[in-house]
Structure 1
Amino acid sequence: MSRFDGYFLRQLLILFGFFTLVLVGVFWITRSVSLFDRVISGGQSAMVFLEFTALTLPTLIRTVMPMAVFAAAVYATNRLSRESELTVMLATGSSPWRLARAVFLFGLVTGLMMAAISVFLRPASVEQLEQRQAEVASDVTAQLLNEGEFLHPASGVTVYIGRIDLDGTLYEVFVSDRRDRASTVTYSSKTAYLVNNGSGIHLVMVDGVALRLDQQGRTLSSTLFEDASYDISELAHGNDMSQRSLEAIPTFELLENRQALTANEGFSEGELVDELHQRFSWIAICVAVAMAGYATLMLGSFSRFGLWPQIFGAFTILVLLEGVRGFVSPIVIDDPALWAVLYLPAVIGILISCLFLLIAGRPLLRKKPRESDLAWPQA
Structure 2
Amino acid sequence: MSKIDRYVLSQLLILFGFFSLVLVAVFWINRAVVLFDRLISDGQSALVFLEFTALGLPKLITTVLPIAAFCAAVYVTNRLNNESELTVMQATGSGPFRLARPFFVFGVIVFLLASILNHILLPLALEQLSDREAEISQNATSRLLTEGAFLHPSPSVTFYAREISEDGVLHDVFLSDRRNADEGVIYTASEAYLIRKQDLTTLIMVDGTAQRLATDDNRLSTAEFRDFSFDISSLIRNDASNNLTVRNMITPQLLSPFDRLSRLTNQSPGEIAEEFHSRFAEPMFCIVAAMIGFTTLLIGGYSRFGVWREVVVAFGLLLLINGARSTLQNPVRNDPELWPLLYLPVLFGTLLAVGMLWYVARPKWQRRAPGKLQERPS
Give me the TM-score of the superposition, normalised by structure 2.
0.89
CA distance in 2, matches of 1:39, 1:341: 39
* Equivalences, count: 372
CA distance in 2, matches of 1:329, 1:186: 48
In the other structure, the counterpart of 2:301 is 301
Q: Which amino acid aligns with 1:360?
A: V
CA distance in 2, matches of 1:219, 1:325: 60
Q: Which amino acid aligns with 2:300?
A: G
SS of 1:33's partner is helix
In the other structure, the counterpart of 1:189 is 189
Cα deviation, 1:174-231, whole Å, max 9, x if unaligned, reads: 2222323444333222222222244722222333333334556755444444333222
Cα deviation, 1:210-264, whole Å, max 9, x if unaligned, reads: 3334556755444444333222223223665625333223211221232311233
List aligned pairs for 1:62-81, cutoff 5 A. 62-81=62-81
Q: Which amino acid aligns with 2:61?
A: I
The higher radius of gyration belongs to 1
In the other structure, the counterpart of 1:102 is 102
SS of 2:202's partner is strand
In the other structure, the counterpart of 2:2 is 2
CA distance in 2, matches of 1:339, 1:129: 28
In the other structure, the counterpart of 1:271 is 271
Q: Which amino acid aligns with 2:133?
A: Q
Q: Which amino acid aligns with 1:345?
A: P
Q: Which amino acid aligns with 1:201?
A: T
SS of 1:161's partner is strand
Cα deviation, 1:133-181, whole Å, max 9, x if unaligned, reads: 2222222221111010111112322211111122212212222223234
Q: Which amino acid aligns with 2:126?
A: V
- Give the direction of change, closer, same or farther, for the CA distance of 1:281–1:203 in structure 2 (3 Å limit): same
Percent identity over the alignment? Answer: 47
Q: Which amino acid aligns with 1:115?
A: S
Cα deviation, 1:260-288, whole Å, max 9, x if unaligned, reads: 11233333332222211110011211111
Return the offset for 1:111. Answer: 0.4
CA distance in 1, matches of 2:104, 2:197: 63
Does 2:204 match 1:177? Answer: no
> Over aligned residue pairs, what C-alpha RMSD do you find?
2.5
In the other structure, the counterpart of 2:318 is 318
Does 2:112 match 1:112? Answer: yes
Please list every run of 5 or more consecutive structure 1 residues that lacks an aligned counterpart in the other structure: 375-379
List aligned pairs for 1:12-31, cutoff 5 A. 12-31=12-31
SS of 1:299's partner is helix
SS of 2:179's partner is coil
Q: Which amino acid aligns with 2:344?
A: L
- Give the direction of change, closer, same or farther, for the CA distance of 1:336–1:150 in structure 2 (3 Å limit): closer
Does 2:128 match 1:137? Answer: no
CA distance in 2, matches of 1:332, 1:189: 55
Q: Is the 8 A contact 2:134 2:238 kept in 1?
A: no
In the other structure, the counterpart of 1:59 is 59
CA distance in 2, matches of 1:198, 1:341: 49
Return the offset for 1:298. Answer: 1.0
In the other structure, the counterpart of 1:377 is none
CA distance in 1, matches of 2:263, 2:200: 35
Q: Is the 8 A contact 1:138 1:240 kept in 2?
A: no
SS of 1:298's partner is helix
Cα deviation, 1:284-342, whole Å, max 9, x if unaligned, reads: 11111111111111112233543223222212221221122123323333443342232
CA distance in 2, matches of 1:305, 1:166: 67
CA distance in 1, matches of 2:10, 2:196: 58
Q: Which amino acid aligns with 1:234?
A: S
Which 10-residue stretch deviates more, 144-153 or 306-315? Answer: 306-315
- Give the direction of change, closer, same or farther, for the CA distance of 1:312–1:220 in structure 2 (3 Å limit): closer
Q: Is the 8 A contact 2:96 2:360 kept in 1?
A: yes
Please list every run of 5 or more consecutive structure 2 residues that lacks an aligned counterpart in the other structure: none
Q: Which amino acid aligns with 1:190?
A: S
Q: Is the 8 A contact 2:131 2:243 kept in 1?
A: no
Q: Which amino acid aligns with 2:356?
A: F
Cα deviation, 1:90-136, whole Å, max 9, x if unaligned, reads: 12222222121110110010000000011111111122222222222
Give me the TM-score of the superposition, normalised by structure 1.
0.89
